[in-house]
């Protein structure tokens, strides 16, 4: 670009697209300067492992939000699926069976959310809060509030604890989910139809897209992501409790909102969600390594969430209150 005005515009556009990525890079540099341990391979793999649950759940939430629906049930569904997997393994079920049940519970709740939203016309904000409560109730009913702790079979634990060629298998799971989701959304017809349903439901329907099926699909995939996370979480912690994943609700949403500030600004997008989860993971790890107390971390995270919500509020409103439908 020869004229300076044009160059300024390009710079602004680049900052809009990659500002959050740049902020992440700045964080990495800062933490590298404040702690010798930060850039060590072991620590970087540690961060990658830690964000895996957040990322997989976040990808599910991203798909639901891309179809303009909120899934506020993913954390509780994840806890329930975790309890089911842990419970079944404890009573001697084979690993494949327990894992299948965990995934099925996630998908079933997602499907139920989809049916509630598309057939019974319950706004997803309400529908998924309700199913979240149901999942929570069932999880407590199964466990009586007590967690299944420890002593799960080694081959099951290996699902989350093993390494392949020095790479923790959790990181590979996450990479797989992110890649699959992105390929689905960006390069397949159903993926694009899902996005179009979220972007302009009426237009999509008039263009012959099965918008209700797309919403069901999006919520089912979010549920499936919760089921998968449950399996990995249970294996990783070798325990399962009825509130094991509750903390991921806010952070998962935060990761997605942060992600909406980058790559495809204003829209929920899978690579953005990965950036958002990385941001949260790097922030938490880096601040801990730098010796910052927990309340500083909480405040920092809150400020970043506020910033990102401000930038991505419209999509959220649309999903929450059905505006623009």
Partner 1 sequence: MTPVLELDGVAMAYGAVEALRGVSLTVAQGEVVGLCGDNGAGKSTLIKLIAGAEQPTGGSIRLFGAIADFASPRDALSKGVATIYQDLALAPRLPIYQNVFMGAELTRRLAGVPFLDKAAMRRAAKEYLARLSIDMPSVDAPVSRLSGGQRQAVAIARALRWSARVIVMDEPTAALGVKETRRVLDLIGQLHRAGVTVILVSHNMEDVVAVATRVVVLRSGRKVADLSAQGLTAAALGRLIVGADLV
Partner 2 sequence: MRKVLGLAVAMAATLLAQDAGAQGFKLGVIAFQMSSETHARVANAVEAAGKARGWDVTLLNSRGSMPEHAAQLDNLVQSGVGGIVLAMGKTVELDAQLAAAKAKGISVVTVMSGTSPHTLLDVAVDDFAAGAKMATYLLNRMNYRGSVLLQRYEGNVSTRARGKVLDAVLSENKAVTVLDAHVMARPQGWREDVKAGMEALTLKHQGKFQGIWASFDGQAFIIDDILREKGVKKGDVALVSIDGGQETFKRIRDPNSLMTASVAIPFEVMGSRAVEAMEAIAVKKTAKEKIVAGPVLMVDTVLVDGSNVPADGKWPW
Query: Which residue among 189, 291, 293, 295 contacts partner 1 (CB under 8 A)?
Result: 189
Q: Which does 253 bind (CB under 5 to 8 A by kind): partner 2, partner 1, none?
A: none
For partner 1, the closer CB: 149 or 206 = 206
Specify burial of residue 120 (Cβ count, 10 A radius: 0-12, 13-18, 19+): exposed
Instruction: Give the residues lining the site for partner 2 (CB under 8 A).
Output: 15-16, 19-20, 22-24, 26-27, 29-31, 33-37, 40, 42-43, 46, 49-50, 53, 140, 144-147, 149-150, 161, 233, 236-239, 241, 243-248, 258, 261-262, 265, 284-285, 288-295, 297-298, 300, 303-304, 307-308, 310-311
The least distance separating partner 1 from the CB of residue 211, rounded to whole angstroms, comes to: 10
Residues 21-50 that bind partner 1 (CB under 8 A): none
What's the rounded Cα separation, in Å, for the pair 119 and 134?
19
Residues 197-236 that bind partner 1 (CB under 8 A): 199-200, 202-209
What's the rounded Cα separation, in Å, for the pair 171 and 261?
24
For partner 1, the closer CB: 136 or 269 = 269
The least distance separating partner 2 from the CB of residue 191, rounded to whole angstroms, comes to: 25
The least distance separating partner 1 from the CB of residue 68, rounded to whole angstroms, comes to: 11
The least distance separating partner 2 from the CB of residue 148, rounded to whole angstroms, comes to: 10
What's the rounded Cα separation, in Å, for the pair 257 and 58?
10
Please identify, among the stretches 82-90, 123-131, 181-189, 221-229, the one whose residues bind partner 1 according to the rule CB under 8 A. 181-189
Closest CA to 132 of 197, 211, 240, 222: 222
The least distance separating partner 1 from the CB of residue 106, rounded to whole angstroms, comes to: 24
Who's near 40: CB < 8 A, 6+ residues apart? none
Q: Which does 302 bind (CB under 5 to 8 A by kind): partner 1, partner 2, none?
A: none
For partner 1, the closer CB: 18 or 93 = 18
Closest CA to 67 of 265, 322, 319, 325: 319
The least distance separating partner 2 from the CB of residue 275, rounded to whole angstroms, comes to: 11
Total interface residues for partner 1 by CB under 8 A: 19
The least distance separating partner 1 from the CB of residue 16, rounded to whole angstroms, comes to: 13
Q: Which does 284 bind (CB under 5 to 8 A by kind): partner 2, partner 1, none?
A: partner 2
Please identify, among the stretches 9-17, 54-62, 111-119, 183-191, the one whose residues bind partner 1 according to the rule CB under 8 A. 183-191
Q: Which residues bind partner 1 (CB under 8 A)?
A: 187-189, 192-193, 195-196, 199-200, 202-209, 266-267
């Amino acid at each position: 670009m020869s004229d300076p005005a044009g160059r300024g515009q390009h710079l602004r556009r680049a900052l809009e697209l990659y500002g959050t990525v740049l902020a992440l890079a700045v964080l990495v540099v800062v933490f590298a300067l404040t702690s010798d341990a930060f850039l060590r391979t072991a620590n970087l793999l540690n961060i990658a492992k830690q964000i895996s649950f957040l990322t997989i759940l976040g990808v599910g939430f991203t798909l639901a939000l891309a179809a303009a629906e909120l899934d506020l049930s993913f954390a509780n569904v994840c806890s329930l699926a975790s309890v089911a997997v842990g419970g079944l393994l404890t009573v001697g079920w084979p690993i494949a069976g327990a894992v299948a049940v965990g995934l099925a519970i996630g998908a079933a709740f997602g499907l139920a959310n989809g049916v509630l939203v598309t057939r019974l016309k319950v706004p997803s904000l309400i529908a998924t809060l309700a199913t979240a409560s149901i999942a929570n109730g069932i999880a407590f009913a199964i466990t009586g509030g007590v967690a299944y702790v420890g002593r799960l079979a080694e081959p099951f634990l290996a699902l989350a604890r093993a390494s392949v060629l020095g790479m923790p298998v959790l990181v590979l799971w996450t990479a797989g989910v992110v890649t699959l989701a992105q390929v689905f959304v960006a390069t397949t017809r159903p993926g694009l139809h899902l996005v179009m349903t979220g972007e302009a439901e009426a237009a999509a329907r008039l263009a012959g897209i099965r918008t209700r099926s797309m919403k069901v699909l999006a919520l089912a995939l979010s549920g499936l992501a919760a089921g998968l996370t449950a399996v990995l979480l249970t294996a990783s912690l070798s325990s399962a409790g009825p509130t094991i994943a509750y903390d991921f609700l806010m952070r998962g949403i935060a990761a997605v909102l942060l992600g909406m500030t980058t790559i495809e600004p204003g829209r929920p997008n899978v690579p953005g969600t990965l950036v958002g989860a990385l941001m949260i993971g790097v922030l938490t790890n880096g601040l801990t390594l730098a010796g910052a107390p927990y309340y500083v971390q909480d405040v920092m995270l809150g400020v970043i969430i506020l910033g990102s919500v401000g930038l991505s509020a419209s999509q959220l409103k649309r999903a929450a209150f059905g505006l623009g439908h």
